[in-house]
Amino acid sequence: MLEDKEPPSIAKGVMTKPVITIDRGSFVLEAATLMSEKKIGCIVIMDDGKPVGIATERDILQRVVTKGLDAAKVKMKDIMSKPLITINAKMLITNAIRIMQKNNVRHLPIIEKGELIGIVTQRDLLRALALHVLISFRPLL
Does the global pTM surpass 0.95? no
Query: Which letter does DSSP use for residue 7 in this model?
Result: P
5 pLDDT higher than 60: no
What number is the average pLDDT over the span 31-35?
Answer: 98
Q: Where are the domains of the chain?
A: 11-140
User: How deeply is 2 buried, as exposed, middle or buried, from its count of CB atoms within 10 A (0-12, 13-18, 19+)?
Assistant: exposed
Q: What is the CA radius of gyration of the chain?
A: 17
3 pLDDT higher than 80: no
Contacts of 38 (CB under 8 A, 6+ apart): 20
Q: Fold for 11-140, please state it.
A: CBS-domain (3.10.580)
